[in-house]
A = this chain, B = another copy of it.
Amino acid sequence: MFINPLVLKLEQRDRLSDDEKRVLEGAISRVRVVEADEDIVHEGDHPSESNLLLDGFAARYKIFSNGRRQITAIHVAGDFVDLHSFLLRAMDHGVLALTPCRIAVVPHTMLERITAEHPHLTRLLWLNTLIDGAIHREWLTAMGRLSATAHMAHFICELFLRLDTVGRADGDTIQLPLTQAELGDTLGLSTVHVNRVLQELRKEGLIRWQGDALTILDWERLKTVGEFTPTYLNLQHEHR
């Protein structure tokens, strides 16, 4: 019930038995709420539990001494924001709530038990972290080789698709509550340039972005501009 978004996500990649769904449900020790602009996990922590996002938006980020910040991932409902801390132990980055977040807490002892008793479920959790990695690689190529405009288009395509697959798209519109400063920290741009790039995408008739509501006006051209192909999101249903 609570963790529906995760089950939904995993079931797009492989079949889950009823038993496995029950185990996932049972792995949750409690549900908590984190306010916007608060850390869900701090850099340097050695957490003993992982956080599954039920609702809201979160970002993984690193901060430099001079205050510059880079966001390395945006998370939406159904994402495990720090599943990797189960094995990595020390958090090498922080996780920030961009909006109020409802979070299911999964103790690492439960994850350890799953790895001991449920190989198939273990592989699916592993898969989850592998998809994170695939997204990181895609972001790397976008940062390295796309223009700022193309990068932004690519980012918008990805977020739309990811929200759509967990049922959070309404037609061609999604709620994407990111400020332009946050977008800049995500794409590695200054806020000024983020603004320029958004103007351009709007002027070209590709998107509309009013408040948090982002509407894709021309999906085909947006994909072309962003050189976006969604294979890396691994949305195929396969036996894993």
Contacts and interface: CB of A to CB of B under 8 A. Distances in A.
B90 A60 contact: no
A197 to B, nearest CB: 15
B134 A132 contact: no
A121 to B, nearest CB: 10
Interface string A135-160: 01111110111000000000000000
Interface in A177-234: 185, 187-188, 227, 231-232, 234
Chain A, interface residues (CB within 8 Å), range: 35 or more
A134 B92 contact: yes
Given A92-B232, A129-B130, A140 B139 contact: yes
Interface stretch (A50-58, A68-76, A97-105): A68-76
B238 A89 contact: yes
Contacts of A132: 133
B140 A136 contact: yes
Interface string A89-133: 110110000000000000000000001100100110011011111
B145 A68 contact: yes
Given A70-B145, A188-B143, A227-B64, A127 B232 contact: no
B140 A72 contact: yes
The count of identical subunits is 2
A23 interface: no
A84 interface: yes
A1 interface: no
Contacts of A90: 231, 234, 236
B133 A84 contact: yes
A88 interface: yes
Contact of A119 (B70, B116, B130, B234): B116
Contact of A72 (B84, B116, B122, B137): B137
Interface in A35-92: 60, 62, 64-65, 68-70, 72-73, 84, 87-90, 92
Contacts of A64: 145, 227
Contacts of A231: 90, 92
A128 to B, nearest CB: 9
A240 interface: yes
